Each structure stands twice: as C-alpha cells, then as structure tokens.
Amino acid sequence: MRPFTYERAKDAQAAVKAAAETPNAKFLAGGTNLLDLMKLEIEHPAHLIDVGRLPMAAIEDTSDGGLRIGAMATNSHLAADARVRARYPVLTQAIVAGGSGQLRNKATTGGNLLQRTRCAYFYDTTKPCNKRAPGSGCGALEGLNRNSAIFGASHACIATHPSDMAVAMAALDATVETLSPSGAARSFPVIELHRLPGETPEVETHLVPGELITAVVLPPAPQDSRGGSGQVYRKVRDRASYAAGLAAVAVAGGKIALGAVAHKPWRAAEAEAALAAGASPQEAIGRELDQAADNGRNAFKINLVRRLVPAALADAGEQGRGA
Amino acid sequence: MKTTITVNGEARALDLDPRTTLLDALREHLRLTGSKKGCDHGQCGACTVLVNGVRINSCLSLAVMHDGDQVTTIEGIGTPDRLHPMQVAFLTEDAFQCGYCTPGQICSAIGMLGEVAQNWPSQETAELTGKITLTDDELRERMSGNICRCSAYPQIVAAIKSAAGELA
C-alpha cells in the first residue's frame, strides 16, 4: 500500500467537507473492496476519511410503507432484517448471493453500491485498462473477456458492475440519498447512480467529488396479483458459493434488473414493456437482447440471459400473461 | 497513529502506520501469530477473527479502524489446557491436515454459529421468514469464506456439527 493519512469523521457534514478540501481523498466504510484495491495499488488515495462509525446504520420504516436503509448498514444486517425478508425477499436473496459471511459482516450498503469491477484487466496493473489508467486501452476487448458486458459497453471499456445487492435495488425502484460537499442533500433513483462507460470508464457514477451516500430508500414492496411477493433473485456463476456472477436477474413486481452484464445494474426496460404488452417471457427477453453485443468469449452470456430471465419470471410467478 | 484495541480481553495500546492491517497488528506488533495470513485479500479466510463478536477478515481491515473494539483471536478462544468445544471437536473429528487454515476455520465457525443463533439467512435458506436449521448445505454455504487447501471439508463439517450440538 502507498502511504496515506487517516481520519475518522465526526459527522457526515465533516466528512464531506474533508473530502472536498483534501486532494485525492476517499471515504472508507467497511473497506473490503477499497483496502483490497489499495494493496494491489490499483487505488492509491492520499487520505482516507473513515465514515464507518457515522450513525447511519439504522434501517427504518418510512411513512409511506417503505424502508430507509442507512448507508452504513452492513450487508449482513440488511439481509437479516425481518422487514426485508418478509417484504423485499429479492434483496435478501441478492445480498446472501454475494461474497462470504465474513465480507458481508463488514461490507456496507453504500460501499456495496460503490464497489469496483472484477475485470481481470482492471486488477492486473501490468495490462492496459482505461478504467484504471485512462488512455492505456482496453485489454479485455480482444482478451479474456468471458465475464465482460453484453449491454451498454463501449470500445473503451467492457467491464461489468459486480454488485448483487444493487441489482435487487434496481428492480425495487430504490432511491439513493446523498450529502454533497456544499452541504446539500439530494436523492435520485438508484438506477441513475452508475454510468455507462462511454469514453470515460474511470468515471463510474454520477456522484460529484466528495458526495457521500447516506441512505437507500425502498418504496413500498410490490405485490403480484395473487398477493405473493412476486420477487426472486437468481445468480449464475462458476462456483456454488463465493464467486462473482456470470449473469444474475432480480424480478420484483414485473420489474426486471440484470446483473454482471453491464457497467451498471441493467434495468431490462424493453423486456418489461414487452411483458406488460402481453409478450411471453421468452419474447420479452428476446426484445431486450436485441441490443446485446458480445466480444467473443462472453457470447454465451446472451443465451444464458435468454434462459435465465424466463426461469426467474416463472419462479416469481410473474408469467406476463396475467398470471 | 495511536490506537487502542482490546485483544482477548486485554487493552493493547499501539502506535501504527495507518497502512497496518488488523491482521498485521495482531501478528507483527502483538506477536499473536495464531491468526494466519493466507491470501491477504479476503479470499481464503485464514485471517478470520471476531470483532465485537462478529467474524471478519482481519486482512481487509485497518487496525486504526478498530480503535476501542474488542477483538478475539484463536489465542483468546482457548488454550492447550483449556480448549474451546470447537477446538476439541476439530481434534476429535480430525478436521485438518496441515492446520494453517484451522485458526480461521474455528473463529469463523464460532462466529457462524452466532449468526445462526440470531436466525440470519444464507443463500441455502429456502424459507426466509422461518427458523434456520443448520443442515449440512447451510453449514457448507456459511463456511464458504474459509478455504482448506488440504480439503478436510468433510471432517470440518462433522466437527462444526458436533460442536454446534454441544454448544446449543
């Protein structure tokens, strides 16, 4: 690790102020992704602002029947919350599909959203990567791209976002709350948090420098026509446990989000619209996949998603034709 | 940077480079070498310790993040003449060969049983709103963050099941 200075933030306002005033500063919460990347010298912040003990770990009911999840709530606590298990099972299923018990005990809600890609070229500092070293090129384009994106990629970057939790939140129409260095709070849909890579894959979110995620808010849980949850998370990967996904899908009340297939959690808007118009699950995901593209080794993901989504819809009891 | 961590019940004052991980603080500064450095990237689980009773990878945490925390390492779980029931079970079931992963396995198993006692779900939990039963599949899934290069997994499962029955 390269040398850095460390401070523990007294409160959220002090944290964003310090982040705005200190060059090359980063927030540190659970540290499970950031410290790993710092050891590899992929991340090299000059200053860490520890926000891990800020009083933002509570999970609270909102007045409209939703849930407000503090950004410091650990993945384990969020997955185990009785309200989440009963009303948002897709979120619990997604969280426990990611990482290991030890990692989920440390990883936070805000940090999970901001974790970085597992693309092998991002991790290998001897290889080109526009995300790690802008302008150096993309080694994955014609390289080991088995787990690369099939939606929304660019010639500069075909990396995927690895979060499971964020995919469930995208399907649940969650909202992110933040605090800006100016002191202003704002909120926006979680699906608008991450960017597609375009020409600047190193810029991964729409957060401004120093902006701190303070909470994620879930709207009231969707219900299917039979009063069930209509929710399911399915993840396909190389090992049965503790492995990044090759493709994943979250279904919640007719909303569909895909994971491990794009630079961000991918809301399958075309498939949702087709389902709503009466298409079969197979037809609907086919409509979504009309815009998919592969780079060779990741071509199998297109068929994987073609089969995975109808299976998940069946699981969720969301057959599309008025089930 | 000055940090005080309570390790195995004893407050330890440290003055550390902020880069020092909790694992390195334990091993290199406090000479508690029971916690092992395997991958140093949170993938193998050999460094697992309990922080305020919760299992974490000590390699993926800075020591300065744990000022004021209560850390339990394998040295605090039991001693050769006063073994913890989980340690006894690992011996009885022959749940290791080289033993390098064992301190992490034992700390992780103790933390894992606490999670089950709190009814935390895993991806093997079919009924999320029901009471968790520690089946073999549940146990294996919950221990997937601990790798055993000697592949003593069947014996590790047997040991943890045996200790779980005794500790229940």
Say if residue B65 is in the same domain as residue B121.
Answer: no
Shared-domain flag, residues B73 and B94: no
DSSP A263-283: SS-EE-HHHHHHHHTT--HHH
Residue of B65, B129, B142 with shortest CB distance to A86: B129
Q: Are residues B107 and B153 in the same domain?
A: yes
CATH number, residue B158? 1.10.150.120
Which of B44, B77, B110 is where one domain is finished?
Answer: B77
Domain span at residue B134 reads 85-167
* Predicted confidence (pLDDT) at residue B149 exceeds the cutoff of 80: yes
Do B100 and B163 lie in one domain? The reply is yes
Residue A167: both structure tokens together: 């995919």
CB contact under 8 A, B48 and A102: yes
- Do A241 and B62 make contact, defined as CB atoms within 8 angstroms? no
Burial class of residue B87 (count of CB atoms within 10 Å of its CB; 0-12, 13-18, 19+): buried
Q: Do A242 and B61 touch (CB under 8 A)?
A: no
Residues B67 and B93 in one domain: no
3-state secondary structure of A83: helix
Instruction: Decide if pLDDT at B32 tops 50.
Output: yes
Subunit contact A31:B40, Cβ cutoff 8 A: no
| A321 pLDDT tier (thresholds 50, 70, 90) | very low
CA separation (Å) from A115 to A8, A112, A137, B121? 21, 5, 22, 23
Beta carbons of A298 and A146 less than 8 angstroms apart: yes
Can you tell me the mean pLDDT for A48-54?
98
Are B9 and B52 in contact by the 8 Å Cβ rule? The answer is no
Q: CA of A32: which chain B residue's CA is closest?
A: B60
**For residue A220, what are the CA distances in angstroms to A268, A292, B29?**
21, 32, 50
Residues 6+ apart with CB under 8 A from A309: A249, A256, A258, A268, A271, A281, A284, A285, A288
Q: Where are the beta strands (DSSP E) in B28-158?
A: 48-51, 54-57, 70-72
φ, ψ for residue A295 (rounded to 5)? -120, 25
Condensed to tens digits (0 to 9), the pLDDT of residues A132-162 reads 999 999 999 999 999 999 999 999 999 999 9
Confidence of residue B168 (pLDDT cuts 50, 70, 90): confident
pLDDT of residue A322: 41
**CB within 8 Å of B132: residues ≥ 6 apart:** B116, B119, B120, B121, B122, B125, B138
Exposed e or buried b per residue across A56-77, where buried means at least 16 C-beta atoms within 10 angstroms of its C-beta: bbebeeeeeebbbbbbbbbbbb
At residue A263, does pLDDT exceed 60? yes
Residue A225 has pLDDT above 90, yes or no: no
Tell me the pLDDT tens digit for each residue of B84-118.
999 999 999 999 999 999 999 999 999 999 999 99
Q: Which long-range contacts (C-beta less than 8 Å, at least 24 apart) are formed by B36-41?
A: B36/B100, B36/B101, B36/B103, B36/B104, B38/B100, B38/B101, B38/B104, B38/B147, B40/A39, B41/A36, B41/A39
Q: Which residues of A touch B68 (CB under 8 A)?
A: none
Number of domains in chain B: 2
Both B25 and B57 in one domain: the answer is yes
For A216, the 3-state DSSP assignment is strand
Contact A265, A169 (CB under 8 A): yes
Dihedral angle, C-alpha A261, A263, A264, A265, nearest 10 °: 0
Q: State residue A319's pLDDT score.
A: 38
A318: pLDDT strictly greater than 90? no
Q: Are B44 and B114 contained in the same domain?
A: no
Mutate to test the interface with B, among A36, A85, A88, A102 (most CBs of B within 10 A): A102
The residue of B57, B105, B129, B148 whose CB has the most chain A CBs within 10 angstroms, and thus the best one to mutate to test that interface, is B57
- Please check the confidence at residue A64 and state whether its pLDDT lies above 90: yes
Whether A228 has a pLDDT exceeding 90, the answer reads: no
Mean pLDDT of chain A: 95
What is the per-residue pLDDT across A284-304, written as a single tens digit (0 to 9) for each?
999 999 999 999 999 999 999
Domain CATH code at residue B72: 3.10.20.30
Q: How far is B39 from chain A (nearest CA, A)?
A: 11
A265 confidence band (pLDDT: 50, 70, 90):
very high
**Residue A28 phi/psi, 5° resolution?**
-120, 125
- The CATH number of A57-318 is 3.30.465.10
Of B28, B56, B77, the last residue of a domain is B77
B90 and B36 both lie in a single domain:
no
Q: Are B71 and B45 in contact, with CB atoms under 8 Å apart?
A: no
Last residue of a domain, one of B35, B55, B77: B77
| B73 and B125 part of one domain | no
d(CA A123, CA A49): 24
Rounded to the nearest 10°, the torsion over CA A191, A150, A40, B43 is 90
What is the CA B130 to chain-centroid distance, rounded? 26
Q: Do A101 and B108 touch (CB under 8 A)?
A: yes
B interface with A, Cβ–Cβ below 8 Å: 1, 17-19, 21, 40-42, 45, 48, 54-57, 60-62, 64-65, 67, 108, 111-112, 115, 118-123, 125, 128-129, 140-146
B115 and B135 in a single domain? The answer is yes
Do B106 and B159 sit in the same domain of this protein?
Answer: yes
Is the model's pLDDT at A200 over the cut of 60?
Answer: yes
Q: Judge: B57–A102 Cβ closer than 8 Å, yes or no.
A: yes
Q: Give the strand order in the sheet containing B48-51.
A: B10-15, B2-7, B70-72, B48-51, B54-57
A100 at the B interface (CB within 8 A)? yes
DSSP for B7-38 reads ETTEEEEEE--TT-BHHHIIIIIS--TTS--S
- Residue ranges of the domains in chain A? 5-50, 57-318
Quick one: pLDDT band at residue A92, thresholds 50, 70, 90?
A: very high
Residue of B nearest to A44 (CA): B19
**Arch. (CATH architecture) of A5-50:** 2-Layer Sandwich (3.30)
